[in-house]
Amino acid sequence: QVHVVESGGGLVQPGGSLRLSCAASGSIFSINAMGWYRQAPGKQRELVAAITSGGSTNYADSVKGRFTISRDNAKNTVYLQMNSLKPEDTAVYYCMVGAVVAVETMIREVDHWGQGTQVTVSS
C-alpha cells in the first residue's frame, strides 16, 4: 500500500556529485523521519543521513560536510545531495520512510524501504 521509489544513482567520478531522490506514495497519514542508508558489498547497512518532519538532520561522520539531506513534505519526497564523492561512498543506497499508516485497527509509524539505487564512484 505504501510505495517508496528511489532514483538518481549512477556512476560518477571521484569528486563529483549526485542527487538521490525518494518519493513515497500510498495510504499515508503523515511522514515522520525519512532517511538514507547504504550497504556496500561485505558490509552492514549503515545510516547515511536522516531528517525529521521538523527538518532536524543527522549525518554519519563519514559524510558530514559533503552530503545534504532535505525533504519536500508536499511531495512526500526526500533528497540526498552528495558532493565531493569518494570511492568509499560506493554502495547501494536505500531510502527509508517512517510513514504513519493504519495497521489493522491501529495508527502507527512503520518504516518503509525502497528497492535501492546503486551509486558507484570510480575513475
Residue ranges of the chain with pLDDT lower than 50?
A: none
In angstroms, the CA 111 to CA 119 distance is 22
pLDDT value, residue 103 = 85
pLDDT value, residue 17 = 98
Q: What is the pLDDT of residues 91-103, one digit of tens each?
A: 999 999 999 998 8
Question: Counting runs of H as helices and runs of E as strands, what totals does the chain give?
Answer: 0, 11
| CA-angle at 35, arms to 31 and 25, nearest 5° | 40
Task: Map residue 45 onto helix, strand or coil.
Answer: coil
pLDDT value, residue 12 = 98
Nearest to 90 by CA among 35, 41, 27, 26: 41
* Residue carrying C-alpha cell 505504501: 2
pLDDT value, residue 104 = 86
In angstroms, the CA 40 to CA 32 distance is 27
pLDDT value, residue 105 = 85
